[in-house]
Structure 1
Amino acid sequence: MMKNVVGVDMGCTKMLMVAEVDGQLVEGKVPTGLDCSLEYLAGEIDRFIAGLPYEPEGLGIALPGLVEGDRRLQFSDIRALCGVTADDFAKGRFRCRLINDVKAATVAEAANYPEKDTVAVMMAGSGLALGVYSKQRMYTGAGGFAGELGYTVIATEAGPRKVDELAGGIGILDRAGCDIDAFLAKIRDGDGDSLALLERAGFYCGLAITNVLHLFNPDVLVIGGSTSTYPGYMDTALRTAEKHTLPDMFQACSFASPKDGKRIAALGAMQFLRTGMEF
């Protein structure tokens, strides 16, 4: 098993890079964005690696979008990543494996529940995504693309809408018309419109949770991501899910937070690389 590896969580708003040095985790974080370039992302990874006291044996990267196998990203909301391959980051220097970000999070969390039959991990960040680990296997679907919860559709008074638009962080801030710091300040100040917007988003997140419970019947659902930490969001979501889920299925599931919520996807990418896990 490889020892000196780097794990990367390449998100829609920030990129977190993690490595182990002398038994301690060191990390670097840089802003991203839907329009950032591949050159920027690869350059920041190279900069982080250059600051380590060793040349890594491998690089594991968790990315948002549809990952084919562990070598190519078919589609991502970060436009510059569409079609990117592991070689674009490794450049022949070391082994590199790509993994969808929520599947990386699921790899990390499933290890904490070895006695459980089915562990589901839902990340509510810029958008919503789902990973399911059942009977010692990741549920991947025919093309490896299963889990795009945010692209599922819910009927609203305004017509069909994606869950990402209704409950994801980007959708919330688009409707709020401000950045995250300003929005959370309005929530703390008790602004009625902002509180109503967050309540609505939590409601739709709860409907998404109901669908997850009915479809996969997990005995653990781990919920992480930055949006899940917005004040009151998860309270509304779980209250809504309990109301609309069959009681036996809701009660069969325990709800948990990630063991390391900030680094969950990066750590899962490291584990995916080190173990050589196949789906």
Structure 2
Amino acid sequence: MKLRVVELLLVTTVPALFLATNGIPDLSLTFWSLLGGTLAAGGANAFNMVIESDTDKLMKRTANRPISTGQISKRNALLFSSIISLLSLAIFYIFTTELATVLTALAIIFYVFGYTIALKRHTSQNIVWGGIAGCMPVLIGQAAVTNSLTATSWLFFLLIFFWTPPHFWALAVRYKDDYAAAGIPMLPVVAPIRSVINQMWFHSLAMVIVSLLVIRSAGLSNWLFVITLLLIVGWKRQLIKLTKQPSEVNAGKLFQASIIFLSIYSFLLVLGVLLK
């Protein structure tokens, strides 16, 4: 289920619920939204492992995954993926809203068929467009509360959209040889490192603008702008270090910095709603 990946999706779902409620969301709704989201993301990730089990064997980072090693058969993994995915949709339909259910189904379908099958092995921009699946939890959180989408939820969606490529490319720089061995055209595999860094700058600068627009659109306090800018400075310091000295070590630090930024930013949104 790649639960460490799922954690980040839940981190963005929680502030989406608070923003949608404009206060503390219903505890029951929050529980079912997070459980449904965990199963949906876990199901999509498990489908990904089934599809990529042969490729995973070629990469040191993924060679020990249970399907690749034969601990779990493809048939059983496919059955598991299908059951928890359907269960997630049932949870959203019963305990939240129809729109949240539809968006969850779209997220699963897009991650499996759009990213894993159509994009990942065929374009270096795979994570740019494939990352849309990872943006969906903020829309699902909004829809779970209101059965509708707002400008703020779409801006939050765009924030994750622009955050994802530099976050993932930093990881891909570290594991460039792995992706090359598996024949996956991640950008750091097929493009010069300077081109990769330039695209990181483009996406991260766009993310900066959108991160401030989310705060403005949600009508949150001005002090959030200041703290958000400080967070951005911390992330940009790591990007500057990578720009000056491209290396796996600096790429790894940038990857961690991006996780820290998104986690603290999400917490700040919750705090901003509570102190509104």
What TM-score do the two structures reach when normalised by structure 1?
Answer: 0.30
What TM-score do the two structures reach when normalised by structure 2?
Answer: 0.30
Give the helix-richer structure, 1 or 2.
2
Give the strand-richer structure, 1 or 2.
1
